[in-house]
Amino acid sequence: MSYLFNTPEQQQQMLQTIGVDSLEALFSTIPTDLRLDRPLDLPVALTEMELQAHFSKLADQNVGPGDRVCMLGGGAYDHFVPAAVDEIARRGEFYTAYTPYQAEASQGSLQTFFEFQSLICQLTGMDVSNASLYEGGTCVSEAAFMAMRVTNRHNRVVLLGSLHPEYRQVVETYLRHLNCEVVIVPSKDGKVDPADVDAAMDDQTACLVIQHPNFFGTLEEAAELTEIAHRYGALSVVSYDPISLGILSRPGDYGADIAIAEGQSLGTPLQFGGPYLGLFSCSEKFVRRMPGRLIGQTVDRNGKRCYVLNLQAREQHIRRDKATSNICSNQGLIAIRAAVYLSLLGKQGIREVSELSCQKAHYAAEQLSSVEGIDLLFPERPFFKEFAVSCSEGADYLLRKARQAGFDLGPELSRFTFVNNPESYQTAVLVAITEQRTREEIDRLVTTLKA
What's the confidence (pLDDT) of residue 190? Answer: 94
What's the confidence (pLDDT) of residue 92? Answer: 84
Upstream peptide bond of 275 is cis (omega within 30 degrees of 0)? yes
What's the confidence (pLDDT) of residue 330? Answer: 66
Spatial distance between the Cα atoms of 314 and 323, rounded to a whole number of angstroms: 4
Tell me how far CA of residue 58 lies from CA of 69, 404, 432, 436, in angstroms: 22, 21, 29, 28
**Which of 152-188 are b and which e, b meaning 16 or more Cβ less than 10 Å from the residue's Cβ?**
ebbebbbbbbbbbbbbbebbeebbeeeebebebbebe
What's the confidence (pLDDT) of residue 274? Answer: 86
Instruction: Give the other-Cβ count within 10 Å of 94's Cβ.
Output: 18
pLDDT in tens, 123-169: 999 999 999 999 999 999 999 999 999 999 999 999 999 999 999 99
Handedness of CA 348, 350, 354, 356 (dihedral sign): positive
Quickly state the pLDDT bin for 331 (edges 50, 70, 90). confident
pLDDT in tens, 266-324: 999 998 888 999 999 999 999 989 988 889 999 999 999 999 888 765 545 555 666 66
Upstream peptide bond of 411 is cis (omega within 30 degrees of 0)? yes
Note whether 150 and 289 are within 8 A (CB).
yes
DSSP-assigned letter for residue 314 = B
Alpha-carbon torsion, ordered 186, 189, 194, 196, to 10 deg: -40
The three-point CA angle 160-162-165 to 5° equals: 100
Spatial distance between the Cα atoms of 306 and 313, rounded to a whole number of angstroms: 21
Q: Indicate the average pLDDT of the chain.
A: 92
pLDDT in tens, 372-425: 999 999 999 999 999 999 999 999 999 999 999 999 999 999 999 998 878 889
Residue type, 332: G
Note whether 393 and 424 are within 8 A (CB).
no
What's the confidence (pLDDT) of residue 337? Answer: 96
What's the confidence (pLDDT) of residue 311? Answer: 75
Quickly state the pLDDT bin for 328 (edges 50, 70, 90). low
pLDDT in tens, 6-58: 888 999 999 999 999 998 899 999 998 999 889 899 889 999 999 999 999 99
Quickly state the pLDDT bin for 358 (edges 50, 70, 90). very high
3-state secondary structure string, 231-278? Answer: HCCCEEEEEECHHHHHCCCCHHHHCCCEEEEECCCCCCCCHHHCCCCE
| Phi, psi for 306 (deg, rounded to 5) | -150, 175
Pairing assessment for the beta strands 156-160 and 207-212 based on DSSP bridges: parallel
Q: Could you tell me where the beta strands, DSSP code E, fall in 74-220?
A: 128-129, 156-160, 181-185, 207-212
Residue type, 97: A
Note whether 76 and 276 are within 8 A (CB).
yes
pLDDT in tens, 236-273: 999 999 999 999 999 999 999 999 999 999 999 998 88
> Would you put residue 125 in left (φ > 0), alpha (ψ -120 to 50) or beta?
left
pLDDT in tens, 171-225: 999 999 999 999 999 998 999 999 999 999 999 999 999 999 999 999 999 999 9
User: CA 134 from chain center: how many Å?
Assistant: 8
More confident site: 301 or 95:
301
pLDDT in tens, 98-108: 555 555 567 88
pLDDT of 351 > 80? The answer is yes
Note whether 230 and 200 are within 8 A (CB).
no
